[in-house]
Chains A and B, each alone.
Chain A
Amino acid sequence: MRIRISHETVYRYDQPAGGVIQTLRLTPRNHVGQFVVDWRIDVSENCELAQHEDAFGNIVHTFNADGPFTELRVLAEGEVETQDTGGVVRGTIERFPESLYLRETPLTRLDPAIAEFARAASAAAGGGALKALHGLLARLHGEMAFDTDPTHPATTAAEAFAMKRGVCQDLTHVFIAAARSLGVPARYIGGHFHRNDGVVAQEAGHAWAEAFVPDLGWVAFDPANGISATDAHVRVAVGLDYLGAAPVRGTRTGGAGEALTVAVQVAQAGRQMQS
Chain B
Amino acid sequence: MPVRLAFDEMKGADGTVRPAYSELADWLKDIRPDTLDHRRQEAELLFRRIGITFAVYGEADAQERLIPFDVIPRILSAGEWDTLRRGLEQRVRALNMFLRDIYTRREVLRAGIVPDDLVFQNPVFRPEMNGQKVPHDIYVHIAGIDIVRVDADTFYVLEDNARTPSGVSYMLENREIMLRLFPELFARHRIAPVENYPDELLATLTSLAPDSAPGDPTVVLLTPGVYNSAYYEHSFLADKLGVELVEGRDLFVKGGVVYMRTTQGPKRVDVIYRRVDDDFLDPLAFRPDSGLGVAGLMSAYQAGNVTLANAVGTGIADDKAIYSYMPEILKFYLGEEPILKNVPTWRCREPDALAYVLDHLEELVVKEVHGSGGYGMLIGPTADKAQIASFRTKLKLDPKGFIAQPTLALSTCPTCVDAGVAPRHVDLRPFVLTGRDRIRIVPGGLTRVALKAGSLVVNSSQGGGTKDTWVLDR
Contacts and interface: CB of A to CB of B under 8 A. Distances in A.
Interface of A: 21-23, 48, 50, 52, 54-56, 60, 62, 64, 95-97, 99-100, 102-104, 154, 240, 243, 249-251, 253
A241 to B, nearest CB: 12
Interface of B: 116-117, 120-121, 123, 127-132, 252-256, 283-285, 288-289, 295-296, 299, 302-303
Given A23-B285, A55-B130, 17 more contacts: A21-B284, A21-B295, A21-B296, A22-B284, A23-B299, A52-B302, A55-B127, A56-B127, A96-B130, A99-B117, A104-B123, A154-B288, A240-B127, A243-B288, A249-B285, A250-B295, A251-B284
Contacts of A100: 120-121, 127
A48 B255 contact: yes
Nearest to B293: A251
Given A64-B253, A96-B130, A23 B284 contact: yes
Nearest to A250: B284
B127 A64 contact: no
A21 B253 contact: yes
A99 B109 CA distance: 13
23 contacts: A21-B252, A21-B295, A23-B285, A23-B296, A23-B299, A52-B303, A55-B129, A55-B130, A62-B299, A64-B255, A96-B127, A97-B120, A99-B116, A99-B121, A100-B121, A102-B120, A103-B121, A154-B289, A240-B127, A243-B288, A249-B285, A249-B288, A251-B295
B304 to A, nearest CB: 11
Contacts of A22: 284
Contacts of A21: 252-254, 284, 295-296
Nearest to A98: B120
Contacts of A56: 127
A240 B253 CA distance: 26
**Would you call the interface of chain A mostly helix, strand, loop, or mixed?**
mixed
**Would you call the interface of chain B mostly helix, strand, loop, or mixed?**
loop
Given A23-B296, A100-B120, A95 B131 contact: yes
Contacts of B121: 99-100, 102-103
A52 B285 CA distance: 14
The list of the 8 closest CB pairs from A to B, nearest first, reads A251-B295, A55-B130, A100-B120, A62-B299, A21-B296, A249-B284, A64-B254, A23-B284
Contacts of A60: 299
A60 B130 CA distance: 15
Q: Which of B121, B127, B255, B288 has the most A CB atoms < 10 Å from its CB?
A: B127
Contact of A103 (B116, B123, B132): B123
A103 B295 CA distance: 25
B8 to A, nearest CB: 47
A256 to B, nearest CB: 17
A94 B381 CA distance: 49
A50 B299 CA distance: 9
Contact of A99 (B120, B256, B285): B120
A41 to B, nearest CB: 16
A96 B451 CA distance: 48
Nearest to A246: B288
Contact of B283 (A48, A95, A251): A251
Contact of A55 (B132, B255, B284, B289): B132
Contacts of A48: 255
Contacts of A96: 120, 127, 130
Nearest to A249: B284
A102 B117 CA distance: 9
Nearest to A105: B123
B118 to A, nearest CB: 11
Nearest to A66: B254
B105 to A, nearest CB: 12
Contacts of B296: 21, 23, 62, 64
A50 B303 contact: yes
A48 B253 CA distance: 13
A24 to B, nearest CB: 10
A22 B295 CA distance: 8
Nearest to B283: A251
B305 to A, nearest CB: 11
A213 B283 CA distance: 33
A22 B262 CA distance: 23
Contacts of A64: 253-255, 296
Contacts of A97: 116, 120
Nearest to B106: A97
A47 B448 CA distance: 53
A237 B116 CA distance: 25
Contacts of B255: 48, 50, 64
A23 B283 CA distance: 11
Contacts of B117: 99, 102
